[in-house]
Amino acid sequence: TAELAGLSALVTGGASGIGLATALLLAERGADVAVLDLDPSGAPAPLRGFTADVSDHDAVHCAVRAAAEALGGIDILVNNAGIGAAGTVEDNPDAQWHRVLDVNVLGVVRTTRSALPYLRASSSAAIVNTCSIAATAGLPQRALYSASKGAVLSLTLAMAADHVREGIRVNCVNPGTVDTPWVGRLLDAAADPAAERAALDARQPTGRLVTAAEVAAAIVYLASPAAGSTTGTALAVDGGMAGL
C-alpha cells in the first residue's frame, strides 16, 4: 500500500540493521526516504544516502539540510543511530561515557534540532526514536548503554510534550534483542558463536530473537498518520522480555 505517499522521511543509522529495515519499509509504503549514516553505502536505491556522524553538530546540520532539500521537506524523522557499550560503572572510563552519550543521546538532540523547522512545516509530522528495553529493564553489564537509552526514553516524553501543540508527534520503540549485524558482531566475538546464538534464542520468551523487520513495522506504524493520536509512548518490540 502507498499510505505514506507524498511524505518524506529521514532515518539516522539507516544503512544497517533496524535503520535499514525501517528505511526500506518506509519506501515500500510510498515515502521518499533519506538515510543519514557514518557510511550510507549500505543503503540501496531508492534510499538517498547522506554522510554524517551524529556526534558532529555541523555535519549533522549540513546533512539534514541537504536531505530536506533533496526530499522537499521532512515529515518523518527516525532517530535510530546508536552504539553499544558493555560493562558496569567500574568498567567504562569517562571518555567512553562521553562518546556513547554523545552518539546515543546528543545524536538524537542534534538531528531533531536540525529537522524541527521542516517538521513544523509538515501537516503529518512524526519523530520516532529507537530506544531499548535497556532503558527500563535493569540489564546486567550495561550501565552506560542503559543510562544512554534511559535518557532517550525521557527525551522522547519531554519532546512529545514540547511539540504536541505544533502537530509533531514523538514516540519511541523499545526493542529487545534484535537479529542485526550489531548482534552478529557480538556473537562472532564469542568462543562458540552457534552455542551463544542458541543460548540467546533460548533466553527470549518467544524462543527466538526479534527481527529487524518487526522493529521496523513498529517504527513505521508510529511514524504514520494511522498513529495520529499516539504521542509520548514507548512501544515494546521485545519478544515479551519486559512484560512477561
Where along the sequence are the contacts to ligand NAD (CB under 6 A)?
Answer: 12-13, 15-19, 37-39, 53-55, 80-83, 103, 130, 132, 175, 177-178, 180-183
Closest distance between ligand NAD and the C-beta of residue 42, in Å?
Answer: 6
- Contact partners, residue 130, CB within 8 Å, separation at least 6: 13, 18, 19, 78, 79, 80, 82, 152, 172, 173, 175, 215, 219
- 145 labelled catalytic: yes
Q: What is the DSSP string of 125-178?
A: EEEEEE--THHHH--TTBHHHHHHHHHHHHHHHHHHHHHGGGTEEEEEEEE-SE
Is the sign of the CA dihedral 11, 14, 19, 21 positive or negative? positive
Q: Which is nearer to ligand NAD, 14 or 163 (by Cβ)?
A: 14
Q: Which is nearer to ligand NAD, 122 or 235 (by Cβ)?
A: 235
Closest distance between ligand NAD and the C-beta of residue 104, in Å?
Answer: 7
Of 75, 145, 212, 238, the catalytic one is 145
Q: Which is nearer to ligand NAD, 64 or 82 (by Cβ)?
A: 82
Closest distance between ligand NAD and the C-beta of residue 238, in Å?
Answer: 8
| Terminal-residue alpha carbon distance, the chain | 34
Catalytic residues: 145
